[in-house]
Structure 1
Amino acid sequence: MFSQIPNIPKFPGNKGPEAFEGEVIHSMDYSKMEPKTAANFVKGKHVAVVGFQKSGMDIAMECSTVNGIERPCTVVVRTLHWNLPDFSPWGFHLGYLYMNRFPELMVHKPGEGLLLSLLATTLSPLRWAFSKFVESYIKRKNRLAQHGMVPEHSFLNDLSSCSLSVLPDGFYDRVEERSIKLIKKVEIVGFCKEGILLKGQAEPIKSDLVILATGFRGIDKLKHIFESPKYQEFIAGIDDSAAVPLYRECIHPGIPQLATIGFSESTTNLYTSEIRCRWLAQLLDGKFKLPSVKMMEKDIAEWDKYKKRYSFNKYYRGSCIAALHVWHNDQLCKDMGWNPKRKKGFWAEWFEPYGPMDYTG
């Protein structure tokens, strides 16, 4: 697993957590607590949660349940996201909009030929319409405009970066009743005695407890497979703006004896990892061979170009195939000698969602 090294923001020497009189923990430490212990831990405290993805929102909801409007939980939001209220925008399940072959025709894919490239360009207005369709539902359902929480990037950008979360029920109700307070589009520059310092603001966020829901350093976990600094740099890649170089999201071209499962993400990581494990098992069994290092590096570069093109962050170094998971699975199937078309009939093949059951047998 690549979620065991917490991402702790770095601050100047005199403005780190040690300058704060309260307590600073990571969401990983909070999640290890029993529910009753966690409730007692935050009870009666002014809690500030840094981060606005799944763990941050869940913790804020729990704190607001315990402390109510007497001690509202402050959530520091740097980047806004299209957090889903449910999986059926305007009554259409998300799987029919993004988890089948047809929507993948609308994006430029790694290794595509001229025809598919022209088709993706031609269908780009439809790609825009699909994204706006989902965004309009999220904006309406979550009342984003009312709360000033409309992201500047598209829903597809969030999906392509695996940056989507499911919003806890009643989250914005808590915001409206003022048991949760949102501090939006701000940058933390450090800590002081009273709490958190924000860029451009004289007054700190006064807190008793700060919970950093800032994610994990998956790349560091990958690097620390090796003790040698040379190999740590080698496996993570020299270019800090490029994705981690893994062929089929599993194999480093320069270290083909090492396979990595679980670093690359999708909307359903268990399913994604399972099919890669089957691919790896057949590789180890000698059912197929890896291409040359040059060919693997070329394939990795094409995937990196795709990830940069559709991610909301141009410095994105993660690995996410959520918006192109059928295309990725097609490549794995072809390597293993399987028929990549897993459904029966034209309509099902192109318009029905693909899932784990399509790859059984």
Structure 2
Amino acid sequence: MFTVLPANFYDKVKEGRLILKKSHNFSFCKNGLIVDGEATPVATDIVIFGTGYKSDAKLKNIFASTYFQKCVFGSSAPLYRECIHPRIPNLAILGYADSPAILFTTEMRSKWLAHFLAGKFKLPSIREMEDDVIKREKFMRCYARQSYKRYCVNVLLQIYCNDQLCKDMGCNPRRKNWFLAKLFAPYGPSDYKNLSRPM
């Protein structure tokens, strides 16, 4: 297992643009995040939680609201595009349904989320997102049986999901440059490295 960090990651940490904190307890406030043991809130625009193992319980425990706990817990991934819960505003979850075998799908969803935050597209209605989630979960149950909750090595399904993400971002989902490659060459991370081409 290995970790790939973005370029200049530690430089941004030194500059204070990225703040790393480890804490068992935290809470949100108007100005950002209150970390256990610190009197001053951490002013931040975006908070990223590295949940590690047992992510189901950790995601549930983020919320004080029992309603939100029930929303996020107990399904395979009740998330639209496996990223955003239709009924929990201002929360995006990346990597929940992925594994190290297909890390590039998390990168794809990161790009999708960046496009969304930049206002490049709008989400469908809550009902439409929930219908999409139910449809995907039914397919996963049918295909992967009892292991559907974290099943992620289905290459064809990932290609389909990446196609959806590309369409949402206004990019051409057909990533190959020539006809024979479209027919015979497998899709991989390099096919999605440049997502600026319009449909």
Equivalent residue, structure 2, for 1:320: 152
Equivalent residue, structure 2, for 1:261: 94
Residue 227 (str. 1) matches residue 59 (str. 2): no
CA 1:262–1:249: 2 relative to 1, 3 Å: same
Please, which of 167, 170, 175 is the counterpart of residue 342 of structure 1? 175
Q: Per-residue deviation at 1:357?
A: 0.9
State the distance in 1 between where 2:83 and 2:106 align.
10
Q: Per-residue deviation at 1:321?
A: 6.1
Contact 2:144 2:151 in 1 (8 A): no
Give the AA of the match of 1:320: C
Equivalent residue, structure 1, for 2:144: 311
State the distance in 1 between where 2:119 and 2:178 align.
33
Equivalent residue, structure 1, for 2:164: 331
**TM-score normalised to the size of structure 1?**
0.37
Aligned runs of 1:37-76 on 2, under 5 Å?
none
CA 1:319–1:259: 2 relative to 1, 3 Å: farther
Contact 1:265 1:322 in 2 (8 A): no
Contact 2:166 2:172 in 1 (8 A): yes
**Which stretches in structure 1 are left out of the alignment for 5+ residues?**
1-215
Contact 2:101 2:153 in 1 (8 A): no
CA RMSD of aligned residues (A): 2.1
Query: Match of 1:268, SS?
Result: helix
Please, which of 107, 110, 114 is the counterpart of residue 274 of structure 1? 107
State the distance in 1 between where 2:183 and 2:131 align.
28
Residue 292 (str. 1) matches residue 162 (str. 2): no
Give the AA of the match of 2:154: A
Contact 1:326 1:354 in 2 (8 A): yes
Q: Per-residue deviation at 1:266?
A: 5.0
**TM-score normalised to the size of structure 2?**
0.65
What count of residue pairs does the alignment treat as equivalent? 142
Q: Report Cα offsets for 1:126-155 as digits up to 9, x if no partner.
A: xxxxxxxxxxxxxxxxxxxxxxxxxxxxxx
| Deviating 4+ runs (over 6 angstroms) | none
Aligned runs of 1:1-361 on 2, under 5 Å?
216-236=53-73, 240=74, 242-266=75-99, 268-313=101-146, 316-318=148-150, 320=152, 322-323=154-155, 324-361=157-194
Contact 1:266 1:322 in 2 (8 A): no
State the distance in 1 between where 2:72 and 2:119 align.
24
Contact 1:250 1:261 in 2 (8 A): yes
Q: Per-residue deviation at 1:288?
A: 0.2
Q: Which has the higher strand share?
A: 1
Contact 1:264 1:320 in 2 (8 A): yes
Q: Report Cα offsets for 1:57-107 as digits up to 9, x if no partner.
A: xxxxxxxxxxxxxxxxxxxxxxxxxxxxxxxxxxxxxxxxxxxxxxxxxxx
Question: Sequence identity of aligned pairs in percent?
Answer: 48
